[in-house]
Structures are given as structure tokens and as C-alpha cells.
Structure 1
Amino acid sequence: MIGVRAGRLGGVSRFEVFTDEQWARIEPMLPSSDGQRGRPFRNHRQVVEGIVYRYRCGIAWRDLPPAFGPWQTVWKRHRRFSRDGTWDRIHALLLAEADASGGIDWTVSVDATINRAHQHATNLSRATGTQGITGNCLRNPTTNAVGRSRGGLSTKIHHACDGKGRPLAFIIGPGQGSDSRMFPVVLAAISVPRTGRGRARNRPDTVLGDKAYSSRANRDLLRAKKIKTVIPEPRDQIANRKRKGSRGGRPVDFDSETYKGRAVVEQSFNLFKQWRCIATRYDKLALTYRAGVALYACLIWLRQ
């Protein structure tokens, strides 16, 4: 058994992801057991490192090494933080700090990625609609976000990142859900609070998306918000517009040079999928699966 000294996991780097500086930033943001009934919280850092280890390695909760304490404690803490939105609050605070220092690139890229759902995650009743799990509906989710696509049962992560590939918003939905229909929801999920007084910023300067997001409704939405749109037009839409002649309207504006920056969202997905429990969904509840994504999003911003 690996011993735990002074809240550290025996000094074994394989079991530690957070540096001392990173942990010092988020520790004050974590819930405290002061004034609550029942046992006080076990060492937060030990337990959170256990949550990270499980998602990074893709193991069952009960297979966690003893260095993290009882696996039941780690699971219950993760379940609690998932329900009360702890990681979403920390993510919002990190975004606020970054925005206050001018660290957010507001050229935003939007995309989605499909992750296969393991059989351990598919033994609950599931809704097959396109509604997603966001930070705003954590308390009463109406779907487990598992759907059937060509590859079988799967979950889709709808994601918006800044110009440097860092996550601004993420929504969990069923695998067969339409990217285009989820676009307004993803855009609405972008909300960066101010460190002082003032409204949260929710309007990017530019939005980049692939052809899946090319629709009149999405373009009208961005135009109404005065956001520059960089979305290519599919061939069928081009042909349909030309066939209508003058009634088809003007060709859409498309900045091919700016569009090259959309690669950052693919790189962001590659980064998320380094954690095996995100690349393959093992969690039964969309609530806990999304919390794992939110935890990694916080870690990405802490590393900046």
C-alpha cells in the first residue's frame, strides 16, 4: 500500500496531476464540510486526484489504488460534485480570471465528437431525443444522453473552444443528435462572468464551424448577434441557391484564411480523449460523465 503524507500521494507523480500551484488556485473554490452534518470531508486533494486517475486510466471505481483512500469515498465525492455543479463553478471562475487578463481568444470554434458508450453505461432507460445535458440543467436532467448512431450506442460531446483550443462550453447529447440543431444551445452555453461588476460576456467576435452547421437559422442567429460567421456552404446548398436564381439570395461570405483556425477544436477533442473514460463512456449517468469532462476543462485552463 502506498502511504499518504501531508495530504500528498506518497510523492508518486503517476498518481498526481495537479501541481501545488494549480491546487492552491482551486482549493478555496471547493465545497467545505464546515457547518454540515455528518463526517467532515476526507482530504480534498487525495480524493480529487483519485477522480482524475479513474477518468485518465479508464478503470472501474472499485479498482482505484489504495493511495486514494476508499473507492466509495472517491465515487461519492464525484457524484456530489457532479450534482451540485462544483466543476462548472470552478470552470466559470477560471474563465473570468482569464478574460479579465485578456487571456481568452474570442475567435470561437464549435464542433462535436462521438464517443462510444460501453455496455456498462447503457443498462439504463434512455431518451433518444436531441436534448443535451448542460450546466444549466444539472439538477433535473431529462435524458441520459445515450443514443444509437451508425457505430452503435454512443454519446456526443458538443463543444465550443476559444482560438487557442481551450474549452468555453460543453454539452453532452445522444450520439445521433444533430450538430446543427444543437448549435444555438452550445452558443447559449458560452457565458464568461466578470471578476467585478457587469454582465457575463456571451458573444464571441467570430464563430467558426464546419459544413454541418451551415443553415439559414444558424446564420441568422449569428447575424442577429452581430457575430462574424465563418462556416463553409455545402455543395447541395450552393446548387439549390443557384437553381433558384435571384430568389436564392447572395452567396455567403466565407473567410477561408480564418477558417484554418478551426483546427484548434479538433486538437481540443484529441486532448480530451487522452482520458480514457472520456474517449469511451463508462458512466451510466450523463451527469457524472459530463462532470468528468468539466473536470478536465478546469485542468486545461489551470495549465495555461
Structure 2
Amino acid sequence: MSRDAVLSDAEWELIAPLMPSMAAGGGRPFADHRRVVEGIDWHYRTGSPWRDLPASFGPWQTVWKRHARFSRDGTWDKIHAALLAQADAEGRIDWAVSVDSTINRAHQHAATLTRITGARLNHTNLLIKPPDHGIGRSRGGLSTKIHQLVDGNGLPMVVLVGAGQSNDPPMFPVLLEHLRVPRLGPGRPRTRPDRVRADKAYSARAHRSLLRARGIGAGIPELSDQVRHRKRRRAAGGRPPVFDPVDYRGRNVVERAFAHLEQWRGLATRYDKYAVTYRGAAVLRAINLCLRRLGDAP
């Protein structure tokens, strides 16, 4: 296999029917989808500039424009959802999910746009175009965060992008809200996991109340100051939340998921100016991992 090859024939057969034939607004039909998708994969896997794309993938402008289009119009999300639906139908999804984030350095090429720093994220601009473009300034310099919700085996199910200096807890309900796995047959998409594992950063009363209201088990340890405060209040402090340290060991799958994600150098270091294209690449990486999961023997 050459260094340019990215997808196997079996993997391409899974996503080829899901690729759009033409743009939503009409126009000329798309051509050479496989060559373009493999060119996008190659770019983010190597972290090379778009202009250095090998000629075997075609004009770099075509590859870049199609990635930008598919990131903005939701094509990557639709393909990701379809593959998750197939994996769920085959019983390949473990619904004891884990959430966390990873912080990545933003290259100077990604920081050339005017942005509103400290912009608050909401349900709309998370997926389209945050005012800060998902880039924040912290002690280490310009950085960005990828937030993920993964299944019990580390398969990414929800991928969102935020500024590097932003806190993780506000993203917790947003990640749960974006969890939607369609069903191949009749029925509504599944939106409720069996259990959620998270580290102490997500140990807020509001988060536990949210999970309890939805009938979702919580595997979240308490912060030390919360433990002290509860004990200081004695009986008024209430009972400690149920926590299974053995079950909590399964949370490491989200850390391993980020390790797989950052094998693509273009994700480990952000070169994209726009959050929507950077997030699109992270979703594309999740698609590749879904293809690998579906290709494994049951």
C-alpha cells in the first residue's frame, strides 16, 4: 500500500452511498469523491499545508473546498450518524459513555482572523461559526479544545470544538444534547445512554440532577471541597452520591480516544482558521474510527 492510500475498498464501500451526488443548491454533480476524501484524510494525517497535497489527489483547491463545504453543510455529521446507526444495529456500541476534552495548540496560521475573545458558546454557534473561532488565549499561548463523548469502547459519538481557555463543565449538557444515534428501522433516535463516566471537573450538582432526571447512571467522583462541605453540614449535607470506583476505571477509554484522534497531526496542532473546518476534520477522524469498528469481526 502506498503512502497516499488512506481508505480500503471495504471502508469506501460503506461510505460511498452516503456521499452527496451534488451540492444542496444544485449545480454540477460531484466527481472523484474517493480521491478527494482520501486527500482530506492525508492532509490532516500528515499536517502538511494544503498546497503540498500530492498531485494524485487532484487540485488542492478542490479538496479544500469540498472539505469546507461538507463541514458547513453537515455532510460529515450525516455520514457519522449513519455509521453510528449501523454500529448500534449490529450491537457494536457500548452505551456506558464517557466525556472529556483535550487541549491543542493553535498554530500561528490559525490565528489570522479577527475574533471576539471570550465569546460564550451556545447551541447554534458550536456547529457553525463561534465568534472566537474556537481559539482562546491561555498561559501557554493560543489554544483550542476538542470535546468528545465516546462509547464504552472509545468510539467518538459527539465531537464539539471550543476555545482552549474555556471550562469543561458548561459543555457537559451540550454534549448530552447532541447525542443522537438514529435507528435503521422505525423509531426515534436514541439519545439516552445507560451511564455517563466523567472526571471530577464535571462533579456539579446540576449535572447529577440532569442525569438523575433522565434516568442515566452517573460515574463521577466528588471534588474534595464538595466532600468537605457535605461533611461539615452533617445530616443537612445529605448522603454522598453513589460512586463505583471499579466502574470508573472504564473512563480511560475517552483518554485513549483522544490518543487516536491526535494521531492526525493536523488535529494535534490546529492549523485551520475556522472552527467549523477544524471540527469537520475531527468528525472525519471519528468517521474513520467508525469504519474501523464496523470492519472488525463481531
> TM tier, shorter chain?
over 0.9
**Which residue of 97, 104, 119 maps to 1:129?**
119
CA positional deviation for 1:99: 1.0
1:170 and 2:167 matched: no
For residues 36 and 147 of structure 1, do their structure 2 counterparts lie closer, same or farther at Cα, with a shift above 3 Å needed?
A: closer
1:47 and 2:36 matched: yes
Q: Which structure 2 residues correspond to residues 41-190 of structure 1 after superposition, within 5 A?
A: 41-127=30-116, 128-131=118-121, 138-139=127-128, 141-190=130-179
Q: What are the Cα deviations for residues 76-121 of structure 1, in whole angstroms up to 9, with x where unaligned?
A: 1111111111110000001111111211100001101101111111
Q: Is the 8 A contact 2:100 2:254 kept in 1?
A: yes
Separation in 1 of the partners of 2:89 and 2:55?
41
Separation in 1 of the partners of 2:144 and 2:25?
36
Q: Is the 8 A contact 2:180 2:189 kept in 1?
A: yes
- Which amino acid in 1 is paired with 2:68? R
Give the fraction of aligned pairs with identical amino acids, expressed as a percent.
57
- Which amino acid in 2 is paired with 1:96? A
**Which residue of 195, 204, 225 maps to 1:236?**
225
Q: Is the 8 A contact 1:132 1:174 kept in 2?
A: no
Separation in 2 of the partners of 1:114 and 1:93?
28
SS in 1 for 2:211: helix
For residues 133 and 24 of structure 1, do their structure 2 counterparts lie closer, same or farther at Cα, with a shift above 3 Å needed?
A: farther
CA positional deviation for 1:150: 2.4
Higher relative contact order (CA 8 A, sep 6+): 2
For residues 37 and 202 of structure 1, do their structure 2 counterparts lie closer, same or farther at Cα, with a shift above 3 Å needed?
A: closer
Separation in 1 of the partners of 2:70 and 2:6?
18
- Which amino acid in 2 is paired with 1:125? T
CA positional deviation for 1:123: 1.2
For residues 147 and 141 of structure 1, do their structure 2 counterparts lie closer, same or farther at Cα, with a shift above 3 Å needed?
A: closer
- Which moves more between the two structures, 211-220 or 26-35? 26-35
Q: What are the Cα deviations for residues 222-249 of structure 1, in whole angstroms up to 9, with x where unaligned?
A: 0101111010011111111111222222
Separation in 1 of the partners of 2:115 and 2:71?
19
CA positional deviation for 1:142: 4.3
Match of 2:255 in 1: 266
Separation in 1 of the partners of 2:24 and 2:176?
38
CA positional deviation for 1:133: 7.7
Separation in 2 of the partners of 1:35 and 1:145?
27
Root-mean-square deviation over aligned CA pairs = 1.8
- For structure 1, the residue ranges without an aligned partner over 5 or more in a row are 1-11
Q: What are the Cα deviations for residues 142-179 of structure 1, in whole angstroms up to 9, with x where unaligned?
A: 44111112221111111100000000101100111111
Q: Which structure 2 residues correspond to residues 210-289 of structure 1 after superposition, within 5 A?
A: 210-289=199-278
- Which amino acid in 2 is paired with 1:131? L
CA positional deviation for 1:71: 0.7
CA positional deviation for 1:138: 3.8
- For structure 2, the residue ranges without an aligned partner over 5 or more in a row are 294-298
For residues 35 and 187 of structure 1, do their structure 2 counterparts lie closer, same or farther at Cα, with a shift above 3 Å needed?
A: closer
TM-score of the pair, normalised by structure 2: 0.93
